[in-house]
Structures are given as structure tokens and as C-alpha cells.
Structure 1
Amino acid sequence: MVVQHKRRGGAVAVLAAMAVVAGGGCSDPGAAAEDGNGPAAGRSGGAADEVRRAADALTGARSSKARTSMEMASGGTRVTIRGEGGYDFARGVGRLKVVLPPDAAGEDEHKPITELLTSGALYMKNRGAGVPADKWVRVDTTTLDDGNLVTGGATDPLTAAELLRGADQVTYVGDVEISGQKVRHFKGVTDIGRAARVAEPHARASLAAAAKGFARDVVPFDAYLDEAGRLRKVRHRFAFVNEGRTVDVTSTTVLFDFGARVVVQLPDEKDIYSGRVEA
């Protein structure tokens, strides 16, 4: 199947093939309770303000390692894509190795896809049929109907944090531990359009595109912040329409080893494939 990027519900790169396999409809994920409740509400303007500042805290942390997972649910079928790598928040670039699941019959193991994330673009190697092994595929994320929140099988970690700038109805759930460190757990919803209007320039165009492409503009989330306000884990629950069917996608990003060295070198123009790409 040829990948087609269309406004409001076209097939989207990696998830397109998954949607065809899964098929069917999904239930609507629930939202959270009211803004500013709980023990964290008194801190610096309330729970919502803490969550909205998560992207700024990541930029201050400069870099980290990252693990991602993206689970798609449709028609009672669930498939998961996993990724691992690192992100340089100061430069706004990252590198992930994304592993696709086998096909519905448990066969056809897929080679990991190397993804380079940067402002306005996604680069993929081992992308799919018809692409030479030594070439990259470049996707302009500002033209995607999801702004690359789900297209690559992993949400760009910095964009995931920028999306939280539209946070509302935020509640402090309590303290939990992630990898032995105490973090604060918040639940809420974020409005993609609102986030796009207040996001930093590097994320604004992609989020503006996403605001037009999802079945629901309001995205439920769970966010986990450490004492420095850095995002340690975030889970977003998106919904988009593919070939007339609503598909629910849960995207989870975990950040750790802040300050770790992250090397990202974008490909030269001669190494970018410009031909036909199939899913």
C-alpha cells in the first residue's frame, strides 16, 4: 500500500499498515477531573502550570535518553511499536531506533527503523519497500495530518512536552516511583490547538497541523514530573480516523539519564530518497 498523507484522516506512515491489519472501531478514552486540586495545587500557580512548564524544564536539562511505546487499539486488536534512543532538547533533535511488531500472523519480522527527529522533519532509514538500504526518507511533519504525533510510531519527546502547554483540567494524583526516583503524577487533558498557539516556534507548525487532523482535539494525558520539573514519563491518548474508522493510539515516552551525550547527524541531501515509498 502506498502511504498517502491527507488532511483529516489519511493513512499515516508507520501506523497505516497497522490500521489495515487491526480494522474496526474503538471506544472514547476518558478525560480527567478538575484543574488545580490536590497537594500540588498550591505550588507556583497550581498543577496545570507545573505541567505546562515541562517543555521548558527539558530544554534546561539539555538532553536525555528516551524509551517510547505506541499502542494502537482497533476492533479488539492491539499492536505496539517500541523505540529507544536519545534526545538533545537544547538543539531540538533526537535519534530513535523503532521496532515494528510482526504481522497479524506472527510472521515477517521487520528490521528496526532508525528515526531522526528535528524541527519540521522526520528522517527514516529502513523505512519500507522500494527504498534502498542506504537511503533516508524525509517527511515534512508540518504537512502531516497528525503533525508527527503518531506517524513515525513514536511521538517526538520534545513535541510531546510542548503539547502539554495546552494542559487543562489537571489534577495531582500523588507521588510514585519511576526507576527508584520519586515523581509527581498528574492527570488531565490538553487541547492540541491551544498548545499550538503557545508552543515554542520549533513545534508550532507541526502542532497546528495536528490540530486539524485528529478525530478529537482534546487529548487525555498522564504526566510524571521530578522535583526539577522535568518530564520523566508522559502518556497521551490520541484518536484519528483512518479509512472511516476511529483508531485509538496510546503514546508513552519515558525520559532518563538527563545530560547524557546524544549525537544526531542529519543526512546529506544526496542520501535522501526521493522516489515512491510504500508501506
Structure 2
Amino acid sequence: MVVQQHRRRGGALMVAAAVAGVMATSGCSGSTGAVADDRPGGPRTDRVRTAADALVAAGSARARTSMETATGGTRVTIQGEGGYDFRRRMGRLTVVLPKDPAGADEHRPVTELMAPGALYMKNRGAGVPADKWVRIDTTTLADGNLVTGGATDPLAAAELLRGARDVTYVGEESVAGETVHHYRGSTDIGRAARAAEPRARASLAAAAKGFATDTVPFDVYLDEEGRLRKVRHRFSFANATGTVAVTSTTVLYDFGTPVTIVLPDRRDIYAGRIGT
């Protein structure tokens, strides 16, 4: 199987499954009495839609990610940890893949570099030399790299909120010892793509065509400065066996921590065939 074939053979879920080494294979409780803010430009909606701007103003942060794929009775969870430079729109994550269903294989962690329009992965796929990277053009993926690599690009997760609607304020909660404001709603991927920062538009526009529905439910937790501390998106795909649910969670902390990302030289990009 080659990278370019993934989106022709079932979209981004095929790629995500290959990254995880499996084929086909959370949440905070809020207070009652949440009030909807359905007005265009209402204060709650505005606060959620501008979360990406607050991250750019913050500069950088450490990040933890979790992605759970559920189909039938099988659940697979992929964990990631690293850092993100929001001004350069670049990040680095170490993604830990689950064992195979028999529990026999230990997968090497995958190193992922995120850049505008591209995802670079090391230790990804059978047949790729240990010193080589795989590069994927995220604008050609059916999901715009919201789930492909087993982790949602942290800034893309915030850009996706630009299409927020039906926002309710759940209340104050605590994330990693910090008081945050919990909002719940749904986002329209197409609307988010049109409102996104220019370098994010192409990937989100691709995602608007790749999911079972344009509407993505979310829970987001913002601090007093409007910075995203935690966000959970619930995506869904339709395939031959039914609907596949993907829950992606991103947690950001230690804002201002320097993040160094150096993209691979062209000579270090693998161009051959990649096995699952």
C-alpha cells in the first residue's frame, strides 16, 4: 500500500488505522442548567471562536493528545505528547501506538512533525528505513489531518472552533489544577474552513468533504485569557460496516515553553512503498 492510495480506499480512517497498526480498530461532567448562546457573535460563541487567536498570542505550549477509535465492539486509543509553536504553526509529538489485538507486538513510538499543509512521520509503516521520514500532504487527505496521524494538530483543533454554534456555558471546572471555563457546542467544518487563518484553510476545506457529517460536537475548556486548555471533538465516519466514531482530545499546558522543530531535509523523505 502506498500513501497516496489511502484516501481512495476509504478516506482518512484507512490512514489512521495504518498508523495505529490496526484496522477497524472520556469526559468531564458538567453542571446542570447550561444556557445556550445561539446568537451570531454572542459572547460565549465569540470566546470559543477566537480560541485559536489566543493560542497564537500565547506563542507556544506543551501538548498531550488522545485519540480513541470505536467501531463495533472494538476500541483503540492512541496517546501523544510534545509541544507546539503556534506562531509558526508547527508542532512535534511522540505518538504511542497500542499493542496489536493479540497483545504480542510492541510498536515503536511514532515521531510526528506538523507544519502548514504537511505531516511528517518517523517510524511509520512497514518497509520505511529507520532513518527516513514519511511526508503526507494534508490538503489531499479526506480528513485534513484531523485524525490521520492518530493525533489532531493542536492549532487545527482550535481553528476548527471558528465554526462554533449552539454554544452553551457549562460552568467553571479544573484542568491540571487550573480553573477553566467549560463550553459545549458543535462546529461546522465548512464554516470553520472559511473563517480559518489562511494557512489552515486548505486542510479544513478537505476535512469538510471527508466526514459523515459537517457538524462536529465539542467540549472546550478555556482559561481566563481565552487560551484553549482542553478540547474534545467527536468525529464520525461512514464506511462499509457502519459508522466509526473517533474522539480526539487535546490538552495544552506550560504556555511559553520553547519548542524547537526542524523539518526533515528532502533527502531524508522516503518515497517508496509503505506496508501496513
TM-score (norm 2): 0.91
Question: For the residues of structure 1 that align with 2:226 and 2:130, how far apart are their CA atoms?
Answer: 41
In 1, distance between residues paired with 2:123 and 2:239? 24
- Whether the 8 Å CA contact 1:119–1:203 is kept in 2: the answer is yes
Match of 2:187 in 1: 190
SS in 1 for 2:52: helix
* 1:239 counterpart residue number: 236
| In 2, Cα distance between equivalents of 1:7 and 1:46 | 41
Structure 1 CA distance for aligned equivalents of residues 24 and 219 of structure 2:
28
Residues 7, 212 of structure 1: 8 Å contact kept: no
Q: Give the RMSD, CA atoms, in angstroms.
A: 1.9
Q: Which runs of 5+ in 2 are unaligned?
A: 26-33
SS in 1 for 2:6: coil
* Alignment correspondent of 1:157: 154
Map of 1:5 onto structure 2: 6
Equivalent position SS for 1:142: helix
C-alpha deviation, 1:278, in angstroms: 1.8
Corresponding letter in the other structure for 1:248:
A
Map of 1:50 onto structure 2: 47
Are 1:35 and 1:168, in contact at CA under 8 Å, matched by a contact in 2?
A: no
- 1:225, 1:233 within 8 Å by CA — same for their partners in 2? yes
Structure 1 CA distance for aligned equivalents of residues 192 and 135 of structure 2? 25
Query: In the alignment, is the contact (CA less than 8 A) between 2:14 and 2:23 conserved in 1?
Result: no
Distance 2:164 2:8 in 1: 25
Contact 2:35 2:169 in 1 (8 A): no
Q: Which residue of 2 aligns with 1:80?
A: 77
Q: Is structure 2 residue 236 aligned with structure 1 residue 255? A: no
Query: After TM superposition, which residue ranges in structure 1, 4 or more long, deviate above 4 angstroms?
Result: 16-19
| Structure 1 residue ranges without an equivalent (≥5) | 23-32
Taking the aligned partners of 2:24 and 2:246, their CA distance within structure 1 comes to 15
- 2:22–2:100 CA contact under 8 A, matched in 1: no
SS in 2 for 1:273: coil
Match for residue 23 of structure 2 among 13, 20, 23? 20
Give 1:243 deviation, angstroms. Answer: 4.2
Identity %: 69
CA–CA distance in 2 between the matches of 1:242 and 1:18?
A: 19
For residue 227 of structure 1, give the secondary structure of its aligned residue in structure 2.
coil
Aligned to 1:271: 268
**2:68 maps to what in 1?**
71
Match of 2:216 among 216, 219, 236: 219
**Structure 1 equivalent of residue 30 of structure 2:** none
**Corresponding residue number in structure 2 for 1:174:** 171
Residues 43-62 of structure 1 show CA distances to partners (whole Å, capped at 9, x for unaligned) of x9421110000000000000
Partner of 1:100: 97
Provide closer, same or farther for how the CA distance between residues 51 and 92 of structure 1 changes in structure 2, counting only shifts above 3 A. same
Question: How many residue pairs get matched?
Answer: 264
